[in-house]
Amino acid sequence: MRILFLGDVIGRSGRKAVRHHLPSMVERWKLDFVVVNGENSAGGFGITEKIFQELLDAGADCITTGNHAFDQKEALVFAERQERFLRPINYPPQTPGRGANIYTARSGARVLVINVMGQLFMTALDDPIAAVEREIAAMPLGRDCDAIIVDFHAEATSEKQVMAAFLDGRASLVVGTHTHVPTADYRIQPGGTAMMTDIGMCGDYDSIIGMQKDEPLHRAVTKISSGRLGPAMEEATLSGIAVDVDDTTGLAKKVAAVRLGPHLERSVPTFWTDED
């Protein structure tokens, strides 16, 4: 099974890049399942239902989020009716929407996606480790589903590496999101679970984590806020990860970073196009 996961889409520029590249990636790489983190897709803060739909139309099968999930208040409403929308599972139980769901991939395989948030250096939700454990125990890989994908939306590299190690052998792919910078450490762990500490953003990298540089620079120099943050508007680079999952075990066979666009070193999976 061929899985693509793209990191936090930042505003208009990020959406444009997704619309432009994703459809051909789906086709060219014969992708079975695509996840996109959409928490910053509406002007950098949250996501609207229209944008959610736009990302699905571009080829996403599931939209994950994070601490910005509900910045746009309409997400509190459409989270309920849109089964392909996920918000972190460790929000309080009464929170609208779902934190995990099972989907049917193009191949017919059953894919469990879990979205969960970290506790370190962030507004804390419930224990992410326990939350993921519950989901995976209830629906183990190879028995109740054919692939498990975890989006761990967290700040600290240590916390994200712990989650990946914790799930090694029991999930197909564990990625970090939230820092908006791709790490260069994608790999298959000893137990067979692919991981990447952070898959970066789909946004304009000539920026401060996707935002225009002026205000963050002003704040850093003066320690005083002088206005709002807005998304950087130049051409976005897609960033994410591509994983080839074993149809029998649900574990990762091959993994590659995906970086497509200006500023970053280009990276695309070669194992799929080579096989063509």
Q: Which of 98, 170, 178, 259 is close enough to bind Fe ion by CB under 5 A? A: 178
Sign of the dihedral through C-alpha 261, 151, 257, 209: positive
Which of 200, 231, 250, 269 touches its own copies (CB under 8 A)? 200
Q: Which of 41, 64, 67, 115 touches Fe ion (CB under 5 A)?
A: 67
What residue type is 262 in one-letter code? Answer: P
Residue for token pair 């183990």: 140
Give backbone dihedrals phi and psi of 52, rounded to 5 degrees, phi first. -55, -50
Q: Which of 20, 68, 218, 263 is catalytic?
A: 68
Contacting its own copies within 97-126 (CB under 8 A): 119-121, 123-126
Of 4, 33, 36, 40, which lies in the binding site for Fe ion, with binding defined by CB under 5 A?
40
Q: Around Cβ 48, how many Cβ atoms within 10 Å?
A: 17
Dihedral angle of Cα 6, 101, 92, 170, to the nearest 10 degrees: -80
Check the annotation: does 39 bind a ligand. yes
Q: Name which position in 101, 177, 193, 267 contacts its own copies (CB under 8 A).
A: 267
From residue 215 to residue 244, the character string flagging contacts with its own copies as x (rule: CB under 8 A) and all else as - is -xx--xxxxx-x------------x-----
52: tokens are 């959610």
Minimum CB–partner distance for residue 93 and its own copies (Å):
7
Q: Binding to its own copies by residue 189, rule CB under 8 A?
A: yes
CA atoms of 177 and 162, how far apart (whole Å): 14
29 binds its own copies (CB under 8 A): no
- Report if residue 212 touches its own copies, rule: CB under 8 A: no
With a CB cutoff of 8 Å and minimum separation 6, the contacts of 263 are: 205, 206, 237
Taking contact as CB under 8 A, which single stretch among the options 9-17, 89-97, 100-108, 245-253 is the one that binds its own copies? Answer: 89-97
52 interface partner picked from its own copies, Fe ion, none, CB below 5 to 8 A per type? none
Distance between CA atoms of residues 272 and 27, nearest Å: 11
Q: How many residues does the chain have?
A: 276
Query: Does residue 218 have a known ligand-binding role?
Result: no
Distance of CA 57 to the CA centre of its chain: 17
Tell me the catalytic residues: 68
